[in-house]
Amino acid sequence: MRLTSLLSALGRKVVPAAGVRAPDGEDWVAPQGSYLTINAADRHLDPDLYPDPTRYDAFRFAREAQEAQQDGGQETNQEYLRARRLGMTSTSKDFLAFGHGWHACPGRFLVEQMLKMLMAYMLMHYDIEYLPS
Ligand code: HEM
């Protein structure tokens, strides 16, 4: 989800007649009828946010969440927020796979439950082993 984010493929059509102006003083205007999209890869592949960003690391988020919990039991707002933003359904400006803000994906809670049920079913009904490399 982090490496091939759906969000970048979703465009938003500019509706206002005056277009959409860059919010931070940059000098561009997207005219009415054009499409804007988000460059999620810029965040998702940033090595300052995700060390060694293209490597598959199954416990990348779980490890950090565990560390955040151990670092003082989430006693401060910062620690609490750090732990919370690592949840499977959490969205943030640094993790955009489900979008972020008002229109963030509402189906992500269903996806979380389904993936957990799938995982539980596999563990209960199958023996799993590594493929020979
Ligand atoms: C892993 C699976 C899924 C991924 C990665 C995903 C990702 C996304 C993304 C990136 C958006 C756009 C958010 C934005 O515009 O900021 C979105 C929107 C949406 N998703 Fe999902 N989605 C998933 C599963 C689902 C499921 C299972 C449902 C329904 C049961 C669902 C329902 C929706 C709806 C209704 C929106 C539009 C929300 C709005 O515009 O307010 N999604 N999703």
- pLDDT digit string, tens, across residues 8-32: 778 889 999 999 998 877 889 999 9
Task: Give the three-state DSSP class for 75.
Answer: coil
The pLDDT of residue 77 is: 66
pTM given for the model: 0.84
How far is it, in rounded angstroms, from Cα 98 to Cα 35? 19
> Would you say residue 102 lies in a domain?
yes
> Would you say residue 1 lies in a domain?
no
Cβ-contact 103, 97 below 8 angstroms:
no
Structural domains of the chain, count? 1
pLDDT tens-digit map of 53-84: 999 898 988 888 777 767 655 566 666 666 66
pLDDT tens-digit map of 93-132: 888 999 999 989 999 999 999 999 999 999 999 998 888 8
Expressed in angstroms and rounded, the spacing between residue 103 Cα and the centre of ligand 1 is: 8
Range of the domain at 72: 6-125
> Would you say residue 87 lies in a domain?
yes
> Would you say residue 132 lies in a domain?
no
Pocket test for ligand 1, best of 2, 7, 93, 105 (most atoms within 8 A of CB): 105
Among protein residues, the one whose CA lies closest to atom 31 of ligand 1? 107
Among protein residues, the one whose CA lies closest to atom 25 of ligand 1? 107
110 lines ligand 1 (CB under 6 A): yes
> Would you say residue 133 lies in a domain?
no
Among protein residues, the one whose CA lies closest to atom 29 of ligand 1? 107
> Would you say residue 26 lies in a domain?
yes
The pLDDT of residue 31 is: 96
> Would you say residue 107 lies in a domain?
yes
The pLDDT of residue 75 is: 61
> Would you say residue 86 lies in a domain?
yes
DSSP annotation of 92 reads B
